[in-house]
Amino acid sequence: MKAFTYERASDPAAAARSVASKPGAKFIAGGTNLLDLMKIEVETPTHLVDVQDLDLDKIEKTSDGGLRIGALVSNTALAADQRIRRDYAVLTRAIVAGASGQLRNKASTGGNLLQRTRCPYFYDTNMPCNKRKPGTGCAAIGGYSRQLAVIGVSDKCIATFPGDMPVALRVLDAVVETVKPDGQRRSIPIADFHRLWGDKPEQDTVLEPGELITHVTLPRPLGGQHFYEKVRDRASYAFALVSVAAVIQPDGTGRVAFGGMAPKPWRVAEAEALLPQGAAAVTARAFQGATPTKDNAFKLPLATRALASVIAQAKA
């Protein structure tokens, strides 16, 4: 791990200004992803701004019947909140499906949105990776790609977004609230928060330099039945090969988003409109134009089967 300087922030705008003013600076909260990357020198920040003392650890009601979640609310606290369990059960189920109990105790809501890919080539500093070092190439293209993306990729990168919680947030139409270094606040729909790789795979999100996540807002509850189906190589502590977050209404309509398939939680409105026609119709439209490799082509029929399982549970 390379040497770095450190400070504890006193308020969100000051934290944003500090990161923006120091080249190579980064925020740190729970550190469950960043510290791992620092140890293997995938991330080499020159300065860390600790935001754990900020007053961003509460879950509060909004005027329109939703909830406003502080960026420092732990994954454990969020999943266990009775309002989340009752009205946004897909979120609880997605969080509990991820990581381990110890990690969920430390991982923050804001940090979960900012997880970096678990592509093996991103973690291997001996291999070329446009996400880790822009312009060096993508070793995953033509390499081992079983866990990587089948849609939303580019000729620069085929990595997936690894998280579970944001897939549920995508189904719920959450909004990410931020503060910029100049104190200006911004609200970003979760649909627009994560980027497709394009020519700049090193940019995971639309956040500007120094912009700090302060809250995630959930709109009023959707009702219906909530599901999170996660298919992985082992029963726990593993990232999704395919995941399905869904809210199904009594008439068979609903919302569905997929994880493990793309650089961001993948939701296609035209596809979920086909839910009453069955899983195959939904996934055929959701993954229209997919470009799987020989290693990960199995993900497409697997996504169909995972969604079919959800639909069957909803009918049971």
Express as a percent the part of the chain with pLDDT over 90.
99
pLDDT value at position 74?
Answer: 98
How do residues 189-237 score in pLDDT, each as one tens digit?
999 999 999 999 999 999 999 999 999 999 999 999 999 999 999 988 8
Residue 136 structure tokens: 């060096």
Residue 275 DSSP one-character state: G
pLDDT at 269 over 90: yes
Give domain 5-52's CATH number out of 3.90.45.10, 1.10.3720.10, 3.30.43.10, 2.60.120.340: 3.30.43.10
What is the CATH T-level fold of the domain 225-315, as seen in this structure?
A: Enolase-like; domain 1 (3.30.390)
The ranges of the chain annotated as CATH 3.30.43.10 are 5-52
Please report which helix (H) or strand (E) contains residue 205, including its range.
none
pLDDT value at position 268?
Answer: 98
Distance between CA 54 and CA 10 in Å, rounded?
A: 6
pLDDT value at position 204?
Answer: 98
What is the pLDDT confidence band of residue 47, given thresholds at 50, 70 and 90? very high
How do residues 245-266 score in pLDDT, each as one tens digit?
999 999 999 999 999 999 999 9
Sheet holding 242-248, edge to edge: 225-231, 242-248, 254-259
pLDDT value at position 56?
Answer: 98
The ranges of the chain annotated as CATH 3.30.390.50 are 225-315
pLDDT value at position 241?
Answer: 98
Residue 285 structure tokens: 């439209």
For the segment 172-195, the average pLDDT, to the nearest whole number, is 98
pLDDT value at position 236?
Answer: 86
pLDDT value at position 101?
Answer: 93
* Closest to 173 (Cα-Cα) out of 217, 206, 132: 217
Distance between CA 283 and CA 302 in Å, rounded?
A: 10
